[in-house]
Amino acid sequence: MRRLQSATQMLEWSRRERCSGKGIAFVPTMGALHEGHLSLVDLAADRASRVVVSIFVNPAQFGPSKDLEQYPRDVERDMEMLSDRKVDAVFVPEEDVLYPAGCTTLVVETGLSEILEGASRPGHFRGVVTVVTKLLLIVEPDLLVLGQKDAQQVAVLRRLIHDLKFSVDVIVGPIIRESGGLALSSRNAYLSDDERRQAACLHESLFEARNLVRGGEDDAGVVLGAMRDRIEREPAVRIDYVVAVHPDTFEPATSLEGPTLFCVAVFVGDTRLIDNELVSSHPESPDGN
Ligand code: PAF
């Protein structure tokens, strides 16, 4: 497993591999790796003969709070975790590789980026889209592997790839959950035991949505109300949003007939957590889960 730090090293490595006929799957991360990331790495290894992982805590996607400073960083531990998987190269750039002094260019998606996560975290998607553009230009992968947990990020990055005509396919790995159901996230490390217990309301509200829709409920308002009721039982949890949207456009779902993406964002104490579930009223359909 090669550790590459400069953009030139990374690009030369990728081009060499592609010239020798190897397909490259790329898993971008901000480190603090957990089983969710490793499942994406395994998916990448199933789909391509070469796997590249990047580790870069992207300052441009953080707000002005202390979140960036506090974000967990342990590259050596991350490298150790990756060394057990089928990873060929790890790109670990310093900040000035991706944001050299004097760099004033940003890449902005102006539709989907404005709502939900984008509205709650102004500038977040501009940072994500900018850094992923740079990473795609440096890694030149055939496949970009993303996680369903950040469903809106997936939709925004699909738009980027479509609009700027990047020649890369996207594959999306499922949400990986702890045995109790909490979606894995680097931010779970901030939760106290009590907050972790209360955070169960996220996935429980989503499971409730699934049960209601599969049981024939077709009024989004009723389902969202039941989800809110479940979440509001927890004193340390404050709702940011609870929505039902179309899985690609993120338009509010007008009917629960087709596949509907239920998304929740909450603060548990000071920690912001998100989760989502794609629900179909016909579980036997390909989108039913
Ligand atoms: O999902 C993440 O970890 C980040 O948003 C990404 C895609 C690595 C860009 O910094």
* Separation of CA 222 and ligand 1 centre (Å): 34
Options 3.10.20.30, 3.30.1300.10, 3.20.10.10, 3.30.450.70; CATH of 186-276: 3.30.1300.10
pLDDT at 289: 46
Mutation test of ligand 1: which of 26, 30, 54 has the most ligand atoms closer than 8 Å to its C-beta?
30
pLDDT at 283: 67
pLDDT at 185: 96
Q: Where are the domains of the chain?
A: 2-173, 186-276
Output the CATH code of domain 2-173: 3.40.50.620
The answer to whether 17 and 140 are in contact (CB under 8 A) is no
Q: Is 154 in the pocket of ligand 1 (CB under 6 A)?
A: no
* pLDDT tens digits, one per residue of 39-86: 999 999 999 999 999 999 999 999 887 789 989 899 999 999 999 999
* pLDDT tens digits, one per residue of 231-279: 999 999 999 999 999 999 999 998 898 899 999 999 999 999 999 999 9
pTM of the model: 0.95
- What atom of ligand 1 comes closest to residue 150's alpha carbon? 1
Q: Is 60 in the pocket of ligand 1 (CB under 6 A)?
A: no
Q: Which among 47, 12, 14 has a CA at the least distance from the CA of 141? A: 14
Q: How confident is the model at residue 227 (pLDDT cuts 50, 70, 90)?
A: very high
The answer to whether 10 and 136 are in contact (CB under 8 A) is no
Cα gap 250→112, rounded to integer Å: 7
Q: Is 150 in the pocket of ligand 1 (CB under 6 A)?
A: yes
The answer to whether 201 and 230 are in contact (CB under 8 A) is yes
Q: Is 204 in the pocket of ligand 1 (CB under 6 A)?
A: no
Cα gap 211→97, rounded to integer Å: 48
The answer to whether 240 and 258 are in contact (CB under 8 A) is no
